Amino acid sequence: MPYVVALTLVRGRVELGNFYDEPLDAAEIIALTEKTWYLDDPASDFPKRFTGEVIVHLADGRVVRSRKAASFGSPDVPLPTATTVAKFVSNATRVIGRASAERLVDAVLHLESEESLERISALCTVT
């Protein structure tokens, strides 16, 4: 958990490429990881919701915090379709071509008009 928190603070987001394309021992992330810890949240209603809070103690003595009652992508805070599609395409194009990923998105978004899952299954196949 400390590594992912540090990665998020340094890079602004976490995606698969952070774990496969970038060095896992990047000095700025490791340095922040060593200053990062986590505690169980007594206010959490897990597993109903994935709550979370980040508290950052700054060098000048200030403390900044952010608490989320539910995580992004949960039923309480659904991601916009465009965000979900962008994340899927980013991950899928690691193993299938962009055109296949985009066709797969279209097929899934229009699943009700598919006669079977054959086309979707074929689009998921790495050739």
User: Is it the case that residue 127 has pLDDT exceeding 80?
Assistant: no
What's the pLDDT tens digit per position in 72-91? Answer: 888 999 999 999 999 999 99
Q: How far is CA 41 from CA 53, 65, 126, in A?
A: 8, 14, 41
- 3-state secondary structure at position 84: helix
**What was the pLDDT predicted at 113?**
92
What's the pLDDT tens digit per position in 42-68? Answer: 888 888 888 889 999 999 999 999 999
Predicted TM-score (pTM) of this structure: 0.73
The candidate with the shortest Cα–Cα distance to 69, out of 54, 50, 56, is 50
**What was the pLDDT predicted at 118?**
92
What's the pLDDT tens digit per position in 3-35? Answer: 999 999 999 989 898 998 888 999 999 999 999
What CA–CA distance (Å, rounded) separates 114 from 92?
21
**What was the pLDDT predicted at 65?**
95
| pLDDT band for position 111 (cuts 50, 70, 90) | very high
Between 4 and 127, the higher pLDDT residue = 4
CB 104 within 8 A of CB 120: yes
CB 48 within 8 A of CB 75: no
The candidate with the shortest Cα–Cα distance to 77, out of 69, 65, 67, 88, is 69
Amino acid found at 65: R
What CA–CA distance (Å, rounded) separates 68 from 49?
10
**What was the pLDDT predicted at 46?**
87
Q: Which sequence spans correspond to the domains of the chain?
A: 1-38, 41-78, 81-123
